[in-house]
Amino acid sequence: MITPFANDSESMQIGELIIENQQDKVTIYGDIDIYHSTEGLAQARQLQELMTKIVDKLSADNQASKLSKAPTGKLGIAGKDSAQTDADSEQIDNPFL
Within-domain flag for 24: yes
Within-domain flag for 20: yes
What confidence tens digit (pLDDT) does each residue in 34-53 have? Answer: 999 999 999 999 999 999 99
Domain containing residue 13: 1-69
Within-domain flag for 4: yes
Within-domain flag for 83: no
Number of domains the chain contains: 1
Within-domain flag for 91: no
Within-domain flag for 81: no
Instruction: Find the largest Cα–Cα distance for the chain.
Output: 49
Within-domain flag for 88: no
Within-domain flag for 87: no
Lowest mean pLDDT, pick from 3-17, 26-40, 57-71: 57-71
Q: Render the burial of 67-90: b for 16+ CB within 10 Å, e for the rest.
A: eeeeeeeeeeeeeeeeeeeeeeee
